[in-house]
Amino acid sequence: MDITLDITKNLKDQFDNYLDLNETATGFIPNPDIIEGQMRYLEFPGEVALYHFQKSQFRVPINMISRNPVDSEWYLIHINLSMVKQEKFVGDKKIEFQKYLPIGILVYGPELEIATPIPPNVDSELASFHFHRSFLLSYFENIEEEAQLRRSLIYEDLDENLERKLLDTLGAMDNKLECHGKALDFLNSFFAKIANHDKARLDGLHPDDISNLFKVATHLRNPLAVATGLDELAAMANMGMSKFKALFKQIFGKAPGEYRNKIRMEYAEKEINSGRTASEISHELGFSHPSNFSAAFKKYHGQLPSAAGN
């Protein structure tokens, strides 16, 4: 099935055209012959809309094209919340887009055409903010210049702070006023982050260093990846140990070990909540004994896996 989205137009209406949305008390349910799942949607003042595509699976193969013309004044912040990566294509360039990869957030700017092939029966969860340039100009002085938002495509990491604020926003969608406040908080933090990243690049971080650090982070953001020592990670980044540790923390806000532990423990919590046993997850994550996993889980989450699953 081919789907073509025009970023300059109302996205819900376009989804309705392709997916035959049926409104419910809590959102919209698409035609189950096309996709099993639910979409939630809120419009806020200032021409801002929030979409949450809850856990779902397409039942047919999808080829989705998203277009934003060169003179567009509309933006889309697109966030992958699932464990499954999507492959997106801008011309001949492939982008791997997933919560546990450094590219967990994409900003669609002007002069962009991006293709997303979506296979059937694959889990998906996405959130998007769709907004007009006037929203930026109302709230943020010089943000387009500071964050270089007139670029066609911006890549960003869904870090711990942004993920928490986003989940708070999605969890408040039953209360529009509360959700609006939380959405503004998330967007404020997001724009500040990408502006600070650009400033960091201007302050002397070499693009090759940033690229190499993101390669390391890609490895660390896979919760099931084999443990890798600091010396190997530094070599992967083509850096000495001191430089690697300092720059990794500057870019990602945590030491490499803390960064990896966060990914693994949050993955473990979600798997526990889905009904899997601590023993299964302990083995999957490579712990020598389930008791060691339980101790690590309690240290991070403040409770044992058995309590988290209730």
**CATH code at position 70:** 2.60.120.10
The pLDDT, as a whole number, for residue 101 is 64
pLDDT tens string 208-254: 787 788 778 878 878 888 888 999 999 999 999 999 998 888 777 78
Question: Beta-strand (E) ranges in the chain?
Answer: 2-6, 22-24, 27-29, 35-36, 39-44, 48-58, 62-68, 74-80, 86-90, 93-97, 105-108, 112-118, 124-132, 153-156
pLDDT tens string 83-113: 777 888 888 888 777 776 667 889 999 999 9
Total of domains in the chain:
2
pLDDT tens string 145-177: 777 788 888 888 887 788 889 999 999 999 999
**Backbone Cα Rg of the chain:** 20
Q: H/E/C letters for each residue in 104-162?
A: CEEEECCCEEEEEEECCCCCEEEEEEEEEHHHHHHHCCCHHHHCCCCCCEEEECCCHHH
Distance CA 240, CA 97 (A): 29
224 and 183 both lie in a single domain: no
23 and 8 both lie in a single domain: yes
pLDDT tens string 38-88: 999 999 998 999 999 998 889 999 999 999 999 999 999 999 988 777 888
179 and 219 both lie in a single domain: no
84 and 151 both lie in a single domain: yes
The pLDDT, as a whole number, for residue 126 is 93
231 and 220 both lie in a single domain: yes
Domain boundary among 174, 202, 230: 202
Contact 291, 278 (CB under 8 A): no
85 and 165 both lie in a single domain: yes
Domain boundary among 181, 202, 223: 202
**Pick the residue with more confidence: 142 or 152?**
152
| The model's pTM | 0.72
28 and 136 both lie in a single domain: yes
226 and 198 both lie in a single domain: no
Domain boundary among 202, 223, 242: 202
**Pick the residue with more confidence: 144 or 179?**
179
115 and 243 both lie in a single domain: no
Residue 305 belongs to a domain with what CATH number? 1.10.10.60
The pLDDT, as a whole number, for residue 197 is 65
193 and 148 both lie in a single domain: yes
The pLDDT, as a whole number, for residue 131 is 95
29 and 149 both lie in a single domain: yes
* Domain ranges, residue 285: 205-310
164 and 224 both lie in a single domain: no
Which tokens hold the place of 15? Answer: 């989804």
